[in-house]
Structure 1
């Protein structure tokens, strides 16, 4: 990826990792002038947010607190990996599910 593209989209990419509100703000910021680096990280965070919601409401109803907590900690680790990638200016996919997020949400951001 070009250095200029990364520099232009880095702030938006970092904002996308600040809760779901940050993801929404980053999405809005990226609508006028599309930046591929920012779009990559927005898609990653949309996927992590949806998995987190599913963990809280769906899995939490059936599996109990221990399983929900363990999955939540795993999602937090994936969030840290994505956030560090945005800070370092890398398109680092979160392990295991990052490729799915890029495929599922390719038309969104």
Structure 2
């Protein structure tokens, strides 16, 4: 698996695991960068969707606002895939800088 494919897969949720375990010997700085960005996006999406689900059970009229969260994370995912396909180290909007120096287990 090439580093470019690893970079793209890292933004596709659970396929991050495929990129992490299948291509350990072929990683470069670009794929490591995008794997950190993708894992961060996945974690924030899970936390925010769980929080939104709890809020939705408490206040059902928030359904439109909560659906916007899903759209925002989808847009972030597309922007990350585009950056990975163009082989550019570009952080995700609003949240990307948080993950540049985290997840030290990704090497």
Deviation sequence 1:37-75 (CA, Å, 0-9, x none): 111111111011111111221232125422321111111
Cα root mean square deviation, aligned: 1.7
Aligned-partner Cα distance in 2 for 1:67–1:104: 30
Q: Give the structure with the higher percent helix.
A: 1
Partner residue, 1:39: 32
Q: TM-score w.r.t. structure 2 length? A: 0.81
Count of equivalent residues? 100
Q: Which runs of 5+ in 2 are unaligned?
A: 57-61
Please give the residue correspondences for 1:24-103 in structure 2 after superposition, counting only pairs within 5 Å. 24-62=17-55, 64-103=62-101
Query: Which residue of structure 2 aligns with residue 17 of structure 1?
Result: 11
Unaligned runs of 5+ in 1: 1-7
**Preserved contact between residue 10 and residue 89 of structure 1 (Cα < 8 Å):** yes
Mapped to 2, the partners of 1:41 and 1:86 lie a distance apart of 7
| Cα pair 2:9 2:19 within 8 Å, conserved | yes
Q: 1:84 to 1:39 in 2, by over 3 A?
A: same
**TM-score by structure 1 length?**
0.80
